[in-house]
Amino acid sequence: MERALLGGGCFWCTEGAYKRMKGIESALPAYAGGPDKKPNYQSVCSGRTGHAEIVEIMYNPSIIDYSTILDIFFTVHDPTQLNRQGNDIGTQYRSCIMPLDENQKNAARSKIVEMQDYFAKEIVTTIEEPINFVIAEKYHHDYYERNPAQGYCMAVVGPKISKIRQKFAHLY
């Protein structure tokens, strides 16, 4: 198994996009990127911790590679929105890739350049160190699966997941 750390706005959307895909062992909501050693949802949502809502993805590279993981990432969110995704506003919703080694860092840089051709605005996705990484509270795990009728899930998460499942149908 290999590991990827990605922040694409609200972690409920990003987590849901990777769930149930072939080759994905797990996708868990998490926080990383800020100086606070013990972030939690309330502190991260305040925007004062410097952390981003991210997802830790454990995947089998013989089934799905890092490049495809990044393709999904650039499809599930708008990487041209600085410190926001739609109505979710703040640095905690920034678009970021947190590579775990030089290969991932180089792949992330290349993918940003490649994906720029698909966006009219400049991609603002950052490449960051995953400092002070913490898995989010259990009540965030599988949030969309457990709450599909919740307003935010119906209006925001569900449509993003549908888009991913259509575009990457071969992975389901």
Catalytic residue numbers, as ranges:
10
Residues in a beta bridge with 26: 58
> What's the sign of the alpha-carbon dihedral 60, 76, 138, 33?
positive
The residue with tokens 């991913």 is: 164
Longest dimension (CA), the chain: 41
Pairwise CA distance, residues 40 & 135, whole Å:
9
Pairwise CA distance, residues 39 & 50, whole Å:
10
